[in-house]
Amino acid sequence: MRLLLISDTHGKLGIINGLASNVRADAVIHAGDFGFFDHGSFERLSDRELKLHVAHSDLLQTEKNQILALSRNNLIEKVREHRLLGGFQSYLDGANTFQVPVYAVWGNHEDKDVVERLFSGDITVENLHILHHRQSYHVGPAFVFGLGGNLLPGSKMMQKPIAGGGGKVWSTVSQYADLVETVERYAAVTGPRIFVSHVSPGKEPFTEFIGARTRADFTVSGHMGAPTCMVWNSFAVTSVEEAEKRLQEGFNAVRKSCLGTARPDVIRAAESFEIIGRIPEDTIDLGRGVKAPRWYRQMTHINLPDAHIGYAIMDIVETGTKLQTFVR
């Protein structure tokens, strides 16, 4: 089973089929900022988000400057004219399709309205499967699950899903609790367990905590705009004491920040954190009688750059898992 790992296509979706064909992938895992926009997104995005799409486009700088100085209505027309929100509408219309199954979380730069309709099933695209807090997939021998959006501890994280607006989407406490409960139903799965998150566990300890909580063997993330594919695990970079401290402090910080703003729903929020906070006590033998938490030794993190910069390939074979990373 060959998986193409990719992230941050930002609507330039042709690269997915192109890379999948070139590397002969059986399926694609996408870590967010997919480009979930439709023909109505132009009016729903904030000025800031519209200008970000201009600033990060391939237009000449002189033209960018001219567009960025326009009024909102004219800005929208230019973003529409240059198709700066990407080509997802053509997949919704059926004019384009994905050649192999694509399993994706949403990112933080997406249209909330489109994400909501994908989540509810009101709109579908052939071969596109959305990973979220209530939906996981068996992809060959792998068990793939995930949750996208930004991580913004505090009042935003206490909102009801799908949370966001103006071209931004973020995750919520209730989603993480739902994700944990969804994954727990498949605790007996023996193949590689892959947790897909837009936010990197290297940047956010809470994300690594979720990986540990769900017994992930691999995490796949994007978002950071890294210069290359970054691969690491806690065993390779820090002591078990420091790793455990980082995870617990990360969890505690998010919990404190959220509960401090959860006045109407503080009991429900506390119950969600109770579900999230139970890290499995599985241990692994490091030799010479030394044991460590399974996640510390076993869980490997893969943070991907933007798709036009790099990607990774995961081959799952009978003898184990092979990982290759590529910079374009």
Residues 7 and 52 placed together within one structural domain of the fold: no
Residues 257 and 272 placed together within one structural domain of the fold: yes
The span from the CA of 111 to the CA of 191, in Å, is 34
CATH code at position 272? 3.60.21.10
**Cβ distance 97 to 20 under 8 Å?**
no
**Cβ distance 268 to 220 under 8 Å?**
no
Residues 166 and 228 placed together within one structural domain of the fold: yes
The span from the CA of 164 to the CA of 228, in Å, is 29
251-276: per-residue pLDDT in tens?
Answer: 999 999 999 886 777 888 899 999 99
Q: How large is the average pLDDT for residues 5-29?
A: 98
The span from the CA of 254 to the CA of 244, in Å, is 16
State how far the alpha carbon of 148 is from the alpha carbons of 12, 107, 242, in Å: 19, 5, 27
105-139: per-residue pLDDT in tens?
Answer: 999 999 999 999 999 999 999 999 999 999 999 99
Residues 52 and 114 placed together within one structural domain of the fold: no
The span from the CA of 245 to the CA of 243, in Å, is 5
Q: Which residue has the higher pLDDT, 11 or 282?
A: 11
Residues 70 and 160 placed together within one structural domain of the fold: no
- Domain assignment of residue 271, given as a range: 2-37+85-327
Of 37-46, 172-181, 258-267, minimum mean pLDDT range:
258-267
Average pLDDT, the chain: 96
Residues 50 and 141 placed together within one structural domain of the fold: no
Residues 53 and 188 placed together within one structural domain of the fold: no
Alpha helices in the chain (DSSP H): 14-23, 41-44, 47-55, 61-68, 72-81, 88-92, 112-120, 173-184, 205-213, 234-237, 240-259, 266-276, 294-298
241-253: per-residue pLDDT in tens?
Answer: 999 999 999 999 9
- Asked whether the predicted pLDDT for residue 323 surpasses 70, the reply is yes
The pLDDT of residue 262 is: 63
Residues 155 and 245 placed together within one structural domain of the fold: yes
Tally Cβ neighbours within 10 Å of residue 259.
17
- Asked whether the predicted pLDDT for residue 21 surpasses 90, the reply is yes
Among residues 39, 33, 17, which one has the least CA distance to residue 83? 39
pTM: 0.96
**Cβ distance 168 to 150 under 8 Å?**
yes
Residues 154 and 284 placed together within one structural domain of the fold: yes
The identity of residue 12, as a single letter, is K
Backbone angles phi, psi at 255, to 5 degrees: -60, -50
179-215: per-residue pLDDT in tens?
Answer: 999 999 998 888 999 999 999 999 999 999 999 999 9
Q: How many domains does the chain have?
A: 2
Rg value, the chain, Cα: 20
